[in-house]
Amino acid sequence: MTPFLILTLLSTCLWTPTAATPQGDSLSMFLALPKCAQPCTINALTAGGCDLFNATAVAECSCTNVPLKAGMSLCVQDNCPWADQKKAAFISYNQCKDFTHESRQGEIYATGLACLIIPFVFIALRYYARFLIAKGLWWDDWMMMIAMVSHIGGCACIFVATNLGFGQHLWNVYPGNTEEMLKLFHVVQNFYIVIQVSAKLSLVLLYWRIFPTRWFRVALRCSIVWLVVHGLGFILFVNFQCNPMAAVWDRSIEDAKCLSLNGIAWAGGASAIFEDVVILLLPIPEVMKLQLTLQKKIAVYMMFAVGSFACLTSIIRLKYVHLFGNTKDESWENVDVLIWSIMEVSVAVVCACLPALRPLFLKVPGFFTSNGSKGGSSSGVATPAKNNSSNNNTPVRADVKGTRGSGASSTADGYSSRRPSTSAFRGARARPGFEDLSMDRDEVPFATRGAVERAPEETELADLEKGVGIAR
């Protein structure tokens, strides 16, 4: 059957007047193909219902019929060594380059640009809030900067890879660009891990800055260690998935031994969702200790929980991971997982910034109103307790029972037996409790128990002015 079809194709090409045209020169194209690719071509043309007696129709059919081209490409990849695959790819590309092909490059550019601009705006607002109110940055802010720089680098690689052909079917990509495109896609995977881990570390460090409870700090330390180990581990897996390493993007290395990239992707996605859930649940015990109404506790918790909402995009992304590493049409089949990966890390950066933007929201009338006030007080903080007695043993109300810093030992009813020094009151602003939801000195109100205000000493005031929180 195959010899007959070959003779039919040859006779058609020899006797068809259009055979000399660039698109109709099927004979020269067929003869130039490697021997291992010739049966793939004939079988694909037959299965695609192409008119073998019309050379122009053969060219048009083979170049515009996506299932036909996919079957031909799969057959060549399965039966030909890399050198012959590349030779066949050049012939196919030159024959079909003038035809219109389906492309998803526009989707990639649009998604990448939007997911680059929006996080950049939120990062800028975050740093504006930090410098405006805290006059400096802390570790959670620096982690977010690492995430944003990595995000910019990842998007830059994606745009270059898309310009090289990513977003088109592999057989429509110029064969000389394939290796560079795969190399950039590999670099993007590294950026993805760094962004994901940095954004989560930023949230954990934000918790550290706000909640001083000892057991909670232990849990946060464990979370930090887990995130760092997870990040380093998956970077090693991604970069050393093949031996030699260059086999990840250089398909001419045919005797390479590689791990399952699909398995790595599934493990990474599952661990990312697990981490999001843990970070989502971490603040609940601390928030439940607050002397607030249930409604305010929920509002405070949601302020933290919004930082972990990226897990929703992580779950959606898993829907497309099954094709990752299991396809012969990588530049097309991996578009969905790439788009959702971009969206996932972008949402992670934006959500991790939202708790830190609360001071800016408080300046907008109607945002986070408290006690019927519209937009909060002008200062956004509680007023320090007045010194109405000259007796140094006059009790001063403390905002936290047993809070360290001022050295005061709180009594059972929340009063301190030690009166702060006069110097501590100069220019000092009292630290409000969660009862005053209009606070704008830091990301969230800091008091965890007791009454609304206390007068911090000079060292604590310096920390507060820097936005460090209760304790470093």
Domains and CATH numbers, the chain: 2-96 (no CATH), 105-362 (1.20.1070), 377-472 (no CATH)
Task: Report which secondary-structure segment, H or E, holds 416.
Answer: strand 415-416
> In tens digits, what is the pLDDT along the chain, a chain of 472 residues?
444 444 344 433 433 333 344 444 556 667 788 888 888 888 888 887 777 667 677 778 888 888 888 888 889 988 888 889 889 889 888 888 888 888 999 999 999 999 999 999 988 888 888 777 766 677 888 888 899 999 999 999 999 999 999 999 998 999 989 999 999 999 999 999 999 899 899 888 888 888 888 888 899 999 999 999 989 999 999 999 888 888 888 888 878 888 887 788 888 888 888 888 888 888 888 878 777 777 777 777 776 666 666 777 777 787 777 767 677 888 898 899 899 889 988 888 888 887 777 767 666 665 544 443 444 433 333 333 344 444 444 333 334 444 444 444 333 333 333 434 433 333 333 333 333 333 333 434 333 333 333 333 333 333 333 333 333 3
Measure the CA–CA gap between 168 and 370, rounded to whole angstroms: 54
CA 207 to chain centre: 20
Q: What is the pLDDT of residue 276?
A: 84
Measure the CA–CA gap between 286 and 290, rounded to whole angstroms: 7
Q: What is the pLDDT of residue 468?
A: 34
- pLDDT tens-digit map of 310-360: 777 777 787 777 767 677 888 898 899 899 889 988 888 888 887 777 767
SS3 of residue 20 by DSSP: helix
CA atoms within 13 A of residue 325's CA, in its CB half-sphere: 17
Q: What is the pLDDT of residue 12?
A: 37
Q: What is the pLDDT of residue 324?
A: 73
- Residue 252: both structure tokens together: 């001419």
Q: Please name the residues in contact with 82: beta carbons below 8 A apart, sequence gap of 6 or more.
A: 251, 252, 254
Q: What is the pLDDT of residue 181?
A: 92
Measure the CA–CA gap between 16 and 340, rounded to whole angstroms: 49
Strand partners, 410: 416
- Residue 433 and residue 452 in contact, taking contact as beta carbons nearer than 8 Å: yes
Q: What is the pLDDT of residue 27?
A: 63
Measure the CA–CA gap between 313 and 340, rounded to whole angstroms: 7
- Residue 454: both structure tokens together: 């206390």
- Residue 368 and residue 376 in contact, taking contact as beta carbons nearer than 8 Å: yes
pTM over 0.85: no
Q: What is the pLDDT of residue 134?
A: 63
Q: What is the pLDDT of residue 327?
A: 79
Q: Please name the residues in contact with 198: beta carbons below 8 A apart, sequence gap of 6 or more.
A: 143, 144, 146, 147, 150
> φ, ψ for residue 429 (rounded to 5)?
-115, 135
Measure the CA–CA gap between 205 and 207, rounded to whole angstroms: 5
Measure the CA–CA gap between 440 and 427, rounded to whole angstroms: 17
CA atoms within 13 A of residue 68's CA, in its CB half-sphere: 19
Measure the CA–CA gap between 222 and 268, rounded to whole angstroms: 19
* Long-range contacts of residues 325-328, Cβ cutoff 8 Å, at least 24 apart: 325/260, 325/261, 325/262, 325/263, 325/264, 325/265, 326/262, 328/73, 328/74, 328/77, 328/170
SS3 of residue 415 by DSSP: strand
CA 139 to chain centre: 19
